[in-house]
Chains A and B, each alone.
Chain A
């Protein structure tokens, strides 16, 4: 446990959206380790629930409370209603981490209307809805709030076959900036974590793909990142005391990948 007050989330109430995914799970565990009780929202009512239960067990083992919820992030109304229910059940809300992720890699001419829509819905719309209703809850509770949008470095750089995904994350990047401007005066800080090549991303950096492995070695630190390297930053950005003057910023956890250019 850290000795400074800056990263202490004792007694705080957190919501992690996409808690069944590696980044969300790591953030949920880090929140709990810093002292928060955590609501775990999963994107689909399938094995995602089981994965969130594993996170829940870890959190309960730390002596915090955790509960899992299913949230359809493609529907604004569902995000609103589920979030209201969560706030009621966990007894407040101090921070929300939004970490959905749906990768698609196809040449632009092969991406269908439906695929584009789905990529935008899960990777971008989810952030919009979650921030819209998190802000609503913070306002209703009349308290400051911290929002962390987990996005990708592809939101500011291009890559072949990643047009839809990169565009969706580019939308998240600038949504973070614009939302920060709108909500700062209400002491609601909105920041982003942009992930580079992470070791769980076998959908884009398959161990069998030599080109992908070369891409990983192209990062300054010459390796992929790990889930436990995301958690501490999320804790920092969610600490009310530590981030009263930080908003609208995207923090790459990318091993220096975006520093080449």
Chain B
């Protein structure tokens, strides 16, 4: 049964694959046997990830791409289909901050649109292009990555959680719309995750301090999305679709008070 976790012969595209979680997922997917195409805007980052994967004995290629431009995204999926002959799974992982820091009633159009482009439209474009290819070939998996930041409402950067919430709805819609084409769709919801090892002691101390606010008492690490990526891209999750997989050290399961708050009342 555990051969279901193997990704031998599968072709997988990971956007935002130049660093952080995308790099972690790409490396794990390749380790499990997949041929991986990593995509990001910066070719230099991609070259490093491709070299790392190849150095570990995996198969990887890259495609520099701005995922907010649907033409480039279509070209990316076409390139993957040409390179591998198919696209078994796509991880629409690219995203980012940006936008404006403003009161709600003053929040500017361009700030809102920029955040939606980076975090929601990009996922839609990537998923749409991949789904078209998957329908042609008879099936596949679409995985969109959002953030538990979608639950951080009511601050001056509300556009980000708004876009990230849209990504969850996108995954659920795709799950029902594409099930008939043998395509499963999921959303990955990472919590606070360190994108790379700490640069210095100050950063290490800052992360330790932030980690104290998580039930597991630490931040997530960049590689920890890897096993989930393997699970979702593989046949191990064959009867699952449309779910938002939260990987956040227990953050969203709680959240009713500061982490040290443990009510005591006995009778």
How far is B217's CA from A222's CA once the two chains are assembled, in angstroms? 41
Chain A, residue nearest B238 (CB): A229
Q: Which residues of A contact B3 (CB under 8 A)?
A: 1-2
Q: Is B247 an interface residue (CB 8 A)?
A: yes
Residues on B lying within 8 angstroms of A by beta carbon are: 1-6, 28, 31-33, 172, 175-176, 179-180, 184, 191, 193, 214-217, 220-221, 224, 226-228, 230-231, 234, 236-243, 245-250, 252-254, 262
Q: Which residues of B contact A228 (CB under 8 A)?
A: 1
Contact B249 A177 (CB under 8 A): no
User: Given known contacts A185-B216, A249-B246, is B241 in contact with A232 (CB within 8 Å)?
Assistant: no
Contact partner of A226 (CB less than 8 A), chosen from B172, B179, B239, B246, is B239
Q: Which residues of B contact A221 (CB under 8 A)?
A: 179, 184, 239, 241
Contact B231 A4 (CB under 8 A): no
Chain A, residue nearest B225 (CB): A245
A26-34, A68-76, A88-96, A206-214: which one contacts chain B?
A26-34
Contact A248 B252 (CB under 8 A): yes
Q: Which residues of B contact A255 (CB under 8 A)?
A: 239-241
Contact B239 A225 (CB under 8 A): yes
Q: Which residues of B contact A30 (CB under 8 A)?
A: 1-2
Chain B, residue nearest A29 (CB): B1
How far is B231's CA from A186's CA once the two chains are assembled, in angstroms? 26
How far is B186's CA from A258's CA once the two chains are assembled, in angstroms? 13
Contact B240 A3 (CB under 8 A): no
A99-107, A115-123, A129-137, A235-243: which one contacts chain B?
A235-243
Q: Which residues of B contact A6 (CB under 8 A)?
A: 28, 226-227, 230
Contact B217 A185 (CB under 8 A): yes
Contact A245 B191 (CB under 8 A): yes
Contact A259 B32 (CB under 8 A): no
Contact B179 A220 (CB under 8 A): yes
